[in-house]
Amino acid sequence: MIRVFTLNVIAAILLGLSTGASAAEIKPKAEASPAAPTKKSSDASAAAPSKAHALPMYSRVDSIDHTNKTFTTKRKKDGVEIKHILPAAAEVRQNNASARFSEIKVGDWVAGSRLKKSDTEYEIVKITKFGPRADKKE
């Protein structure tokens, strides 16, 4: 009885694997068909941010523009300036308390998460902590 059950489980797994592979092969053909609706470029750009994932950030603020809500940092390896833009939806916190972008100043270290827009530009998702550089724990 147990042997029959084990064989049935193995057969179901193998069938599931082969069905998944054939479904993956069929999907591209369905997208390529002329009857399939095409996405507009605005739809594609709207879908792009959902695929992007936030990257961790810990950077020193080298210059700041409180009016435009941007700050720049210099990349350590080559000295290139990296621009960080804070959109209206971004969250600014100092540890567990709400904070304002205007509280950040030149020389502060900013921790949080960001989305890469280009090699020299990032969009801030969330700032979780800012201030002097944190001491490394030994």
Q: What is the mean pLDDT of the chain?
A: 78
Q: Using DSSP, state whether 85 is helix, strand or coil.
A: strand
**Homologous superfamily of domain range 50-131:** Copper binding periplasmic protein CusF (2.40.50.320)
pTM of the model: 0.59
Contacts of residue 82, defined as CB under 8 A and 6 or more positions apart, other chains included, come to: 59, 72, 73, 74, 75, 120, 121, 122
The CA distance from 128 to 58, in Å, is: 10
Provide the token pair at 111: 């921790």
The CB density around residue 132, as the number of other CB atoms within 10 Å, is 9
pLDDT by residue (tens digit) across 73-108?
A: 998 899 999 999 999 999 999 988 999 999 999 999
Domain boundaries, the chain: 1-34, 50-131
DSSP letter for each residue of 92-126: EEETTEE--GGG--TT-EEEEEEEEEETTEEEEEE
For 49-69, write each residue's pLDDT tens digit. 456 788 999 999 999 999 999
Q: Contact 110/63 with Cβ under 8 angstroms?
A: no
Q: Helix/strand/coil (H, E, C) string of 25-57?
A: HHHHHHHHCCCCCCCCHHHHHHHHHHHCCCEEE
